[in-house]
Chains A and B, each alone.
Chain A
């Protein structure tokens, strides 16, 4: 039973570029959430996808966008990269509308913006 998988593991970009990160949820999960974890901080909620729609969004600008596919996998896109976007981007999956709230994280994508 595969857990949450993310790709790539590391990425280096320059300011102004665009980036796409990918996530496959844990088997049986239908909801994908994305978090940004800056160095030395706790993860910050970016947004959440269910049934291919954005259901909740945190306090992040429109430069951050996402998508969910029919197989429940998801992408996070960031446009016009800033130095401050350098962080570990974590994908988490869960099963919505269930009594089980447990959220499982992937290993993350370490994004460095130069």
Chain B
């Protein structure tokens, strides 16, 4: 079945630095890749997503890149701020007959120090 690996498990950066989180998926049929941010005790919140027909997508300080050949996708956060501190999850989805099921990575704990 589908498997998603995520690295690193923890990432500490100084405010203003960039942060990069990488994921690898196993099923080449995966066609949708969202990223979620989860603060302690709160729900996962969708921050950005990308479809398999697009190589890169950007939304202000956040960008996602996708390499279908290598089955890699990455989250890039520039000019990090303390409020970016949270656990970030990548996910991959295969859409069968209108329905999708997300397979999540194990998460990256990002700590941004002032």
A-side interface residues toward B, CB under 8 Å? 4, 31, 33, 35, 40-45, 48, 50, 55-56, 58-59, 90, 92, 94, 96-98, 101-108
The listed residue (A41, A50, A94, A104) touching B107 by CB distance below 8 A is A41
- Do the beta carbons of B43 and A90 come within 8 Å of each other? yes
Q: Which 10 pairs show the lowest CB-CB distances between chains A and B?
A: A42-B104, A97-B98, A105-B43, A107-B43, A96-B98, A105-B44, A101-B32, A43-B104, A42-B89, A42-B106
**Cβ contacts under 8 Å, B102 to chain A:** 33, 35, 43, 45, 92, 103
Chain B residues touching A, range:
20 to 34
**Cβ contacts under 8 Å, A56 to chain B:** 96, 99, 101
Contact with A along B34-54 (1 / 0, CB 8 A): 101000001111100101000
Residue of A nearest to B100 (CB): A101
**Cβ contacts under 8 Å, B43 to chain A:** 4, 90, 105-108
Q: What is the predominant secondary structure among interface residues of chain B facing chain A?
A: strand
B-side interface residues toward A, CB under 8 Å? 1, 4, 6, 32, 34, 36, 42-46, 49, 51, 89, 91, 93, 95-96, 98-107
Residue of A nearest to B9 (CB): A40
A–B pairs, 5, beta carbons within 8 Å: A40-B107, A43-B102, A43-B104, A48-B99, A107-B43
- Do the beta carbons of A102 and B46 come within 8 Å of each other? yes
Query: With A42-B89, A101-B32, A105-B43 in contact, is A96–B107 under 8 Å at CB?
Result: no
* Distance between Cα atoms of A55 and B96 in the complex (Å): 10
**Cβ contacts under 8 Å, B46 to chain A:** 102-104
Query: With A90-B43, A101-B93, A103-B46 in contact, is A42–B100 under 8 Å at CB?
Result: no
**Cβ contacts under 8 Å, B99 to chain A:** 31, 48, 50, 55-56, 96
**Cβ contacts under 8 Å, B105 to chain A:** 42
